[in-house]
Structure 1
Amino acid sequence: MSANKSSLRIGIVAGEASGDILGAGLIAALQQRFDEVKVEGIAGPRMQGLGAQSLYPMERLSVMGLVEPLKRLPELLRIRKHLREQFLENPPDVFIGIDSPDFNLGLEESLKAAGIPTVHYVSPSVWAWRRGRIKKIARAVDHMLTLLPFEVDFYREHGVPVTFVGHPLADDLPLSPDVNTARSALGFAADDRIVALLPGSRGGEVRYLGPLFLQAARWCHQRQPDLKFVLPAANEARRAELDALLAAFPELPLTLLDGRSHEALAASDAVLIASGTATLETLLLKKPMVVSYKMGPVSFAIFSRLLQTPWVALPNLLAHRELVPEILQNDATPAALGAEVLKFFEDPLLCDRLQRQFNEIHQQLRRNASARAAEAVCALIQAKS
């Protein structure tokens, strides 16, 4: 569908780095369809680089768990109230909430009730837990854009218009990663044996998983002293936290990076990683991984009771079975994580099987996602105009 007017005004809210990537791809695709695209809301650096105006720092929305966000609730409610007033006073052609469902769905519900078309980009894990949210989603969302194929049926069953768009990372990343170039860029040799540590991009994740992952690295290094480790810091705040943690691990041959998580993953032989969206990039780079997660004990107690799927790791959800080990909460000890990581160095056939299965999933997710998302947004605007 070609644009039927020369300009487009978008309200948008992205709450974390993965949403910023999705938003940037969508904005770029819409900019190819319209002479002018104005974007306002909450945006990260990638979207801002395409001209999006961010009224608040995206970091303010990056909270984790079930209990922890309550501490920030007054601030989050103030931000949402201001955005609601802003968009109701000067309505955009469409509002797009990217992930962050606890923040975005309430905003979308108000805007949809006022006649503003609403799109939610990235399905909440409503099929996995808190399934009652589908009622609110139906009230709040004119069109759902999903990244994963198995999500579509759930929305169709509940009468929510939905489009599976695939994932932009699957479009962007080659089927065969360039390992040697990544290693060279990071100063590693072609024959180095490398483990990437990715404890997450949020402060709470680094607090819970940072020490654990470093202890697991020490456990591995004591048994295989030739291993090297690489640890990308998501931003300056995480860098400071990781620097402080590393003081207790002077013996580890570890390279701490400012950003560059993609190169760290591409260069690695195996990955120890927090459950989350980064596991998808790891899969697309065909890297064997051990997935872990920890959160506050109250949050985990609530979460585990509500969970309605046997897995939390995206590779396992996509495969409908346990492709990679996931070790959560109290089960996540340095020895348990380290033992699973070392299996990838002891069993080449295991790695080969994983990489073939990762390649199949990669091809399923290659759908020119940003263009498909832009097509769905344009179709909604036309239908509502």
Structure 2
Amino acid sequence: MTDRRLTIMLVAAEASGDALGAGLAKALRARLGDGVTFVGVGGPRMAEQGIESPFDIADLSILGWLEGLKAYGLVKRRVADTVALAKRRRPDAVILIDSWGFTIRVAKALRTALPQTKLIKYVGPQVWASRPGRARTLASTVDHLLALYAFDAPWFEREGLPTTVVGSQALHTDMSRADPDSFRRARGIAPDAELLLVLPGSRPSEIRLMTPIYETAIHRLKARRPSLEVAVVLAGTVADDVAARIAAWPFRTHAVVEADKYAAMRAATVALATSGTVSTELAIAGAPMVIAYRFQPLSYAIMRPFFTGKYATLFNHAADAEIARELIQADAKAENVEREVLRLLDDVAGRQEQVRRQTDALALMGRGADDPSDLAAEAVLKVLDAPSQT
């Protein structure tokens, strides 16, 4: 690696990407010390690492085609702002983190504006699940991909994109200090009481679409099992919205702040979760779960022909089996949620078997490997050392 000071730009448009960017910046600084300067776009976690974003990324948390069309003007302006920052600072490498719709636009613009700059994508699109053509698009736009899972790599390598599997930070979640007994005691939940933990999502659209379904399903479950305890996780920027919604539910509900989330996962008898990274965290916690998800109807109608994967949940995909029941779109209705949660509540042996299979699937995903931020930092430095192909 050259002795000159490096400028590295990191671009993240969502909270999950902000966390990845912060971890990568920290790992790079541990290797380079004062030999690196960071610039970029991100949120509070990256700000803690000294990366001052030119705009608030909160409005870029967009899911679905219809939502993307509505936000097109904003996205276009933010792409221009990001490219302008890169042109001013002339980074040696730009690392584009997750958020396909935003970061691929930035990558294409940067390839034209700064053709000698190394472009690295951190987290590829889930082409195993939908729109496999994105692998070719990415391969023609960036120099390297940092992939989270081994099953990602072949899709991109077939298109000629050099790929390094760095692993998922979610697989390194430390729950050793999460105390399920203290969680229950603090809320007056008996040690032997059945506890349903609900994780409704972290995006406004998820909360809007999923919480009414969960409320109806839980109302039915409570009619069958009056002693069932219910807890709901309040995630990030949607915490106030979720708190207001569950305050109106006609049964006692324990609100769970982010700091207590892992203890709640370990304390749960069964979890009901909106599909996302949280499913991996629940599997690490040893919680049997039911997964549900709905898109806006028009968005789903547009997107449905592009879905190619059998499963939405990562550990289901890794195992090529529906270990956790998935209720997607039309199947995500209250009576189905009620039935699947009840099935797990009624079957102790079934819950234990599901937890065992979830744990085995985590190993297939790469649990136990080295820290992803460290591996990603090493990969970035190797790309910077490699001769330019542009």
Distance in 1 (CA, whole Å) between partners of 2:342 and 2:37 is 50
Same amino acid, percent of matched pairs: 31
Distance 2:77 2:187 in 1: 43
Residue 89 (structure 2) aligns with: 90
Q: Is 1:372 aligned with 2:379?
A: no
Cα RMSD for the two superposed structures = 2.2
- Which runs of structure 2 are paired with 1:232-243 in the superposition (5 Å)? 232-236=233-237, 238-243=238-243
Deviations 1:241-273 (A, max 9, x none): 2244235423x2211234333333233221111
Q: 1:112 to 1:246 in 2, by over 3 A?
A: same
Counterpart residue type for residue 212 of structure 1: I
Could you tell me how far apart the structure 1 residues matched to 2:130 and 2:144 are? 21
Equivalent positions of 1:80-119 (< 5 A) are: 80-113=79-112, 114-119=115-120
TM-superposed CA distance for 1:228, in Å, is: 1.2
| Aligned equivalent of 2:157 | 156
Distance 1:220 1:201, change over 3 A: same
Aligned residues between the structures? 381
Structure 1 CA distance for aligned equivalents of residues 3 and 189 of structure 2: 51
What residue in structure 2 maps to residue 21 of structure 1?
Answer: 19
> CA 1:95–1:188 in 2, change beyond 3 Å: closer, same or farther?
farther
Distance 1:5 1:284 in 2: 42
Cα distance in 1 between the residues matched to 2:182 and 2:146: 34
Aligned to 1:383: 386
Give per-residue Cα distances to partners, 1:178-204, cap 9 Å, x unaligned.
533544566644333211111111111
Residues 233, 256 of structure 1: 8 Å contact kept: yes
TM-score (normalizing by structure 1): 0.92
Distance 1:116 1:180 in 2: 52
Secondary structure of the residue aligned to 2:32 is coil
> Are the equivalent residues in 2 in contact too, given 1:198–1:232 (CA < 8 A)?
yes
User: Which residues in structure 2 correspond to 1:41-190 (within 5 Å)?
Assistant: 41-113=40-112, 114-173=115-174, 178-184=179-185, 188-190=189-191
Q: How much has 1:88 moved relative to structure 2?
A: 2.0
- Alpha-carbon contact 1:120-1:145 (below 8 Å) kept: yes
Unaligned 5+ segments in structure 1 are none
Q: Tell me the amino acid that sits aligned with residue 17 of structure 2.
A: G
Structure-2 separation of matches of 1:370 and 1:290: 30
Q: Which residue matches 2:295?
A: 295
Aligned 8 A contact 1:105 1:137 in 2: yes
- 2:276 maps to amino acid: G
The DSSP-based 3-state class of the residue aligned with 1:10 is strand
8 A Cα contact 1:280 1:315, kept in partner: yes
Query: How far apart are 1:347 and its partner, in Å?
Result: 1.1
User: In the alignment, which residue of structure 1 is the partner of 2:228?
Assistant: 227
Partner residue, 2:266:
266
Aligned mate of 1:9, from 7, 10, 26: 7
Cα deviation, residue 323, structure 1: 0.7
| Aligned partners of 1:186 and 1:263 also within 8 Å | no
Distance in 2 between residues matched to 1:203 and 1:253, nearest whole Å: 23
SS in 2 for 1:92: coil
Q: Which residue identity does 2:76 align to in structure 1?
A: L
Structure 2: gaps of 5 or more residues: none
Asked whether the 8 Å contact 1:294–1:328 carries over to 2, the reply is yes
